[in-house]
Amino acid sequence: MGHGYPMSTRPTDAARPESAFVTALLRTRDVSACARVLSNRALEIVSATAAVVYVVDALDGATWSARGIAGPVEVEVNIEPAEASTLAAVATEQHAMLFSRSDLRPQSYSHLKTRRIVESLAYVPFVVNGLLAAVLEVISLDGDLRDDDLAALAALTEFAAPAVEQVLAIERERNSGLHALNRLSQLYDLEKTFHSTLEMDTLLPLISSKFRDVLSAQAVHVWMVKTEDELLLMTSDGHDPTVQPNASLKSGEGIAAEVCDSGEPLLVADPTDVRLLKRNAESADSVFGLMAAPLIMNDEEVGVVEAVNKIDGTPFSEEDLFLLTSLCETAAGALHNASLLQAERKVEILEALVKVSNEITSTLDLERVLQAVVNNPATVIPYERAFVAMQRQGRVQLKAISGTSKNPSAPEFASLREMMEWASALDREMYIRQHGEEIDNDREETRLRARAYFEQSGMRGFYVFPLGDDQGRIGTFACESSDPDFLGDAHLEMIKIVATQATVALRNASLYQEVPFITALQPFLRQKQQFRHLEKRRQIALIAAAMAVIAALAIIPIPMRVEGSAAVLPAVSSKVQARVEGVVRRVLVREGQRVSFGDLLGELEDWGYRDSLAAAEAKYRSALAERNRALAVNDGSAAGVLQSQTDYWQSEVGRARERLERTRLLAPHSGIVVTPHAEEFTGRHLDAGETFVEIADTSRTSVDVGVDEHDLQLLQAGESASLKLESFPTHTFQGLVKVMSPISYTSGEDRVYYARLDVPNSRGLMHSGMQGRAKILVGWRPIGYVLFRRPAMWAYTKIWSWVGW
């Protein structure tokens, strides 16, 4: 086809390098720049139309990229030389070659985008370390290239090959650095992504999908330890027919189980490995490469991540296995945080169930029991409204609705009362849900009734549970939500527990209400009989003494105080935040250190802001000088334009100085630094608005005092209070009522409201969490009012509940 030329030929006079060319060639640090220098030099040596330098991909050797083009010719940027092409011949022979018009066919130079016939082609390969690294192609469209032209071009290799080797090494090093930087960026982004959620159901699919993206794998499986010798597939991403959803592996049953047993990462890159052949037994060689690594949290193995098949068809490498292991370490930290949240939620649920149980069973007041049944389970069961209907003498009455104090018999609850009357006829629990237009219930009557109710109420889920015991049906509990799937299996179990306790509490409260009224009067009747049997004088003396006591109780005033348990609240604190972005240069405070208003707490690196200020000042001085020069020559129009520029740069100087000042982190008020290990912030990057340290103001403290709901009407802001803390039993603190809480809280069997006291703490004795008792002075009242007010209110409430109107 073409003929070659020995690579060792001495350069001709035309090919001898000029010092400027050699200097330019050896100074290049970029492959494209080096290729352009070579292609331009080739056209200087020989008379040709164009010259192109191709760089051969070092990995596969099949992809060539045009990196230096000189002359009027168009070439595909990335090509794969065809078998019959001139490029393929050069790649095979690896020495200088010359092709005349008689040797060429259009398909042999199809990589060139030209409509003219190519008269001649010359090629000079550059071989580095025994491998073809680059090829110089010289194209002639107007005449033939001669052997001496080829010799002159071939002579370039004597001094061009070292330059090519140099720039290729530089590019490989640069690409390696970029690859490492890209991997670090991916790991950083993954860590941020994984730690952005604490929900295990969200985190596990996120891990599999992100692992698959980073590893470029066909599929990724996340297995979690179910028991000591069993793994359960929790989530998968991608396509792998060898693993079925919800699969499980016993010890020794697969590669994931093998990794779990050994605790070491594993790479299987040979498609003929017996473990892969066994896995592909029913899937026609679906898996040709696999790697797996354990998930380890706190030195305990909790799972295995398995990556299957590289998307590009190449086997996994040791570098891929190292990356997988690093990713597993990142994912393990996120899984650890999510598991802590799950454990905390379980504890919260158990505590909430205990609290709900105590609330329901701690009183025999039917109204309080009903309110506790519909309101308190909301802390563990995600309903929007809950109801209780009770059955008495064959009638169904809606008795309680969560979240409202309105009378359940109000007209606005008519549709709800009808729904509860229908639900009270059911003898079993029922969960009715509407998805779109479909209601998942077998009975047509139920679907029609539920559809009408859902359209009117806007709800999409309704759950009914009958309340009954061995004595019969006492009522019905129901809850609803606009989310049709608001109840899971765990919630249904909780409802059953709460409903059982509610049934007992409602039964006891109902029986207590039926106690005859006469039992409350029996003690008074016995005292009356004893009085009648006394002597007349004795009776008069007792009556006189009683009248004197009553007069004293009604006339003599004494201080009236409302007493309650007290707790010191956390001190008021402020977060010192970075007002500009930067790296912390130094930290001047430590945890527990007392600071004053305006004290310097730390500084950010300010060289960038100082540069900006210096540049702005230079611009301002330059504009000011220009303006003064225009004024000096009496050029008013130019002076006006320059004045606006001077004003602009003056404002820029002010802004730059303000940004520089913001690198100083100052105390917003006096107090104590409460941020742990504040000194470790040195060198940390802070975004604008990110917290640096937190300062607590301990000069005054707030104290919450639990006030019984019956005493709420006596209190108002500004009243004085005395406080005794268990930590200082001999010291009395004085304060003022600052505000009353608008909502009530549960404290044992009672509902309390919190009065917040403002108490000076100049000596810093009081600390957050201290407990004690407080007495709030609400004025002077008669002795009888002070002593008997609470019993009188209790008696009135009881009488009203029996014979109220």
pTM for this entry = 0.37
How far is C-alpha 70 from the chain's CA centre? 54
Q: Of 299, 294, 289, 300, whose CA–CA distance to 328 is shortest?
A: 294
Q: Of 517, 513, 523, 474, whose CA–CA distance to 363 is shortest?
A: 513
Q: Tell me, what amino acid is at 452?
A: A
What is the mean pLDDT of the segment spanning 437-453? 88
Rg of the chain's alpha carbons, rounded to an integer?
44
What is the mean pLDDT of the segment spanning 342-364? 71
pLDDT of residue 345: 64
The answer, yes or no, to whether residue 752 has pLDDT greater than 90, is: no
In this structure, is the dihedral angle defined by the CA atoms of residues 316, 320, 322 and 324, taken in order, positive or negative?
negative
Q: Of 741, 731, 758, 732, whose CA–CA distance to 706 is shortest?
A: 741
DSSP summary character for residue 582: E
Name the strands in the sheet holding 96-100, side by side, starting at the edge strand that comes first in the sequence.
3-5, 96-100, 120-128, 131-140, 50-56, 64-70, 78-79
Q: Cα–Cα distance between 354 and 351 in angstroms, integer?
A: 5
Q: Is residue 170 within 8 Å of 28, Cβ to Cβ?
A: no
Kindly indicate the confidence band of residue 464, based on its pLDDT and cuts at 50, 70 and 90.
Answer: very high
Q: Cα–Cα distance between 514 and 486 in angstroms, integer?
A: 38
Instruction: Tell me the backbone φ, ψ of residue 314, rounded to 5 degrees.
Output: -85, 155
Report which listed range, 30-34, 77-81, 541-545, is most confident.
541-545
**778: burial class by Cβ within 10 Å (0-12, 13-18, 19+)?**
buried
Q: Of 87, 61, 89, 60, whose CA–CA distance to 76 is shortest?
A: 87
Q: Cα–Cα distance between 494 and 354 in angstroms, integer?
A: 11
CA dist 293 to 229, 259, 277, 328, 495, Å? 17, 7, 20, 7, 41
Q: Is residue 600 within 8 Å of 664, Cβ to Cβ?
A: yes
Q: Is residue 672 within 8 Å of 691, Cβ to Cβ?
A: no
Kindly indicate the confidence band of residue 173, based on its pLDDT and cuts at 50, 70 and 90.
Answer: low
pLDDT of residue 8: 40
| Greatest Cα pair distance in the chain | 155
Q: 3-state DSSP call for residue 437?
A: coil
Q: Cα–Cα distance between 85 and 105 in angstroms, integer?
A: 9
> 3-state secondary structure string, 584-618?
EEEECCCCCCEECCCCEEEEECCHHHHHHHHHHHH
Q: 3-state DSSP call for residue 276?
A: helix
237 forms beta bridges with 220
Q: Of 27, 79, 55, whose CA–CA distance to 128 is shortest?
A: 55
Q: What are 611-662's pLDDT values in tens digits?
A: 888 888 888 888 888 888 888 877 777 778 888 888 888 888 888 888 888 8
Q: Tokens 């009553």 map to which residue?
A: 550
The answer, yes or no, to whether residue 86 has pLDDT greater than 60, is: yes
Q: Cα–Cα distance between 802 and 517 in angstroms, integer?
A: 8
pLDDT of residue 748: 67
Q: Which residue has the higher pLDDT, 348 or 102?
A: 102
584 forms beta bridges with 604
Report which listed range, 106-115, 136-145, 749-758, is most confident.
136-145
Average pLDDT across the chain, whole number:
79
> 3-state secondary structure string, 159-216?
HHHHHHHHHHHHHHHHHHHHHHHHHHHHHHHHHHHHCCCCCHHHHHHHHHHHHHHHHC
Q: Is residue 155 within 8 Å of 12, Cβ to Cβ?
A: yes
Report which listed range, 472-486, 592-606, 692-706, is most confident.
472-486
Instruction: Give the pairing type, strands 64-70 and 96-100.
Output: unpaired
Q: Cα–Cα distance between 394 and 406 in angstroms, integer?
A: 24
Q: 3-state DSSP call for residue 252?
A: coil
Q: Cα–Cα distance between 418 and 416 in angstroms, integer?
A: 5
Q: What are 98-131's pLDDT values in tens digits?
A: 888 888 887 778 778 877 888 888 888 888 777 7
> DSSP letters along 381-417, please?
S--SEEEEEEEETTEEEEEEETT--S-TTSGGGHHHH
Q: Is 446 left (phi over 0), alpha (psi -120 to 50) or beta?
A: alpha
Q: Is residue 100 within 8 Å of 122, Cβ to Cβ?
A: no
Residue 583: Cβ within 10 Å count: 13
pLDDT of residue 479: 92
Q: Cα–Cα distance between 474 and 465 in angstroms, integer?
A: 12
How far is C-alpha 303 from the chain's CA centre? 22
The answer, yes or no, to whether residue 208 has pLDDT greater than 90, is: no
What is the mean pLDDT of the segment spanning 311-324? 78
Q: Cα–Cα distance between 565 and 117 in angstroms, integer?
A: 102
Residues of the chain with pLDDT > 90, as a percent, come to: 3
Structural domains in the chain, CATH included, are 3-175 (3.30.450.40), 196-344 (3.30.450.40), 363-513 (3.30.450.40), 515-554 (no CATH), 573-693 (no CATH), 698-803 (2.40.30.170)
Choice among 232-241, 307-316, 341-350 with the minimum mean pLDDT: 341-350
Q: Tell me, what amino acid is at 117?
A: I
Q: What are 548-557's pLDDT values in tens digits?
A: 888 887 788 8
What token pair was written down for 605? 């690196």
CA dist 65 to 133, 240, 256, 804, Å? 11, 36, 42, 96
Q: What are 512-543's pLDDT values in tens digits?
A: 666 554 445 446 656 776 777 778 888 888 88
Q: 3-state DSSP call for residue 368?
A: helix
